[in-house]
Amino acid sequence: MTTNQRRGRLPHERDDHYMRLEGAQIVATKALLDVRENIRLAIEAQAMVCIYGATGHGKSLAVNASLRDLAPQQTRRIQFRARPTTPGLRLELFHALGLSGRPPHQNIEFDRMLREALEEPWVVVCDEAQWLSKLCFEYLRYLWDDADTQLTIIFTGGNGCFQTLQSEPMLESRVYAWQELMRMRLAEVRTVIPAFHPIWADADPELIKTCDLEAAHGNFRTWAKITHHLVSGLKETGHGTVDEDLLRWSYSKLRTR
């Protein structure tokens, strides 16, 4: 599949984990199972949902993994790193949906083309939704409200996502479910991390506890960073298992506050 053909599609599974950490596994955390259930219900109802939370809590991984199981062919992703205009949003949807020909010059023709394309079931993931403007939210609501479209919209985002969507009453009233992803509690860390990567499978549970309390703090991305450093450290030192010295060496690679 070419780059253009992949535009807007779900990323490869190898991209789920930080820096494509080799050997990392998707673990069925409570948050991931809740995300999957909320998305399943939203697809059945052709509704809007919002999955939000602080950076590194596994939002993208949970959403992508769930959609690979639930609607891999119907899902398209759009993402912005700065505030888009409505014409920019139209164009992004045009490419993400794989529409043929050239984008129409007239807005009314463009809108008709998108509405007709959305008469088939589609799941559109709006990643980093906090960057969308009021006009963009109104445009998505306009497409979703159309009686003939069969559109599920999943808003995801980090800091500010919840506040941004809540500040748009016409949109907020249409959101079917809200889910905030929180950091893992220590009890969950103890069960999840040994299944996350082989280097933790036989690690001393007290080391896992120490790592979480001193450095990872229940943040999955931080756990992935530490694991990445430890994999390198094990290769360089020739050690077979993680010990306290190697673990604390991996901490030195992280920014401290």
For 194-214, the pLDDT digits (tens) are: 999 999 999 999 999 999 999
Give the residue extent of every domain in the chain. Answer: 3-181, 186-251
Question: What pLDDT is recorded for position 79?
Answer: 86
Question: Residue 64's pLDDT band (boundaries 50, 70, 90)?
Answer: very high
3-181: in CATH 3.40.50.300 = yes
At 83, which amino acid appears?
A: R
| C-alpha distances out from residue 172 to 49, 50, 93, 168, Å | 10, 10, 22, 6
Question: What pLDDT is recorded for position 145?
Answer: 97
Question: What pLDDT is recorded for position 182?
Answer: 96
Residue 3 has pLDDT above 60, yes or no: no
Q: What does pTM read for this prediction?
A: 0.93
Mean pLDDT value across the chain: 93
Helix, strand and coil percent figures for the chain, each rounded to 5: 55, 15, 35
Q: Which residue has the higher pLDDT, 175 or 256?
A: 175
Question: What pLDDT is recorded for position 224?
Answer: 95
